[in-house]
């Protein structure tokens, strides 16, 4: 039988999970670039501000539009990568395992100075 302390513990764990998830959502920063890698080797870094279509090897095509990147086309049988939602936040990733293609959002260049004081 579930006792009062069990409910308090379960509620505390649930509250901590909700707060952690909300914090992760609120602290995500928009990215400025994507990096495309094939089999661990960098194919290139592309700006999310410039709309374009990039061929990632022979089996994948990545589209950048409206500040987001998505897998436009893939020749792999499962099509998981092509069905993923578009990415635009730092740390988000699209992976095509059969073709070993990775698309990941980067923050972009880090400024030399983080603040200016007068």
Q: For 37-96, what is each residue's pLDDT tens digit?
A: 999 999 999 999 999 999 998 999 999 999 999 999 999 999 999 999 999 999 899 999
Name the band, by pLDDT with cuts 50, 70 and 90, for residue 26: confident
In the sheet where 68-74 sits, what is the strand order?
52-56, 60-65, 68-74
Q: Is the whole-model pTM more than 0.85?
A: no
The length of the chain in residues reads: 118
């Amino acid at each position: 039988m579930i006792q009062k302390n069990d409910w308090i513990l379960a509620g505390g764990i649930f509250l901590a999970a909700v707060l952690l998830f909300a914090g992760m959502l609120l602290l995500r920063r928009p990215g400025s670039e994507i990096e495309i890698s094939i089999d661990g080797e960098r194919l290139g870094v592309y700006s999310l501000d410039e709309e374009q279509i990039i061929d990632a090897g022979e089996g994948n095509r990545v589209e950048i539009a409206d500040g987001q990147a998505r897998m436009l086309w893939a020749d792999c049988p499962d099509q998981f990568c092509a069905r993923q939602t578009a990415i635009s936040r730092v740390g988000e990733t699209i992976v095509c395992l059969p073709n070993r293609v990775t698309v990941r959002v980067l923050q972009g260049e880090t400024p030399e100075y983080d603040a200016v004081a007068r």
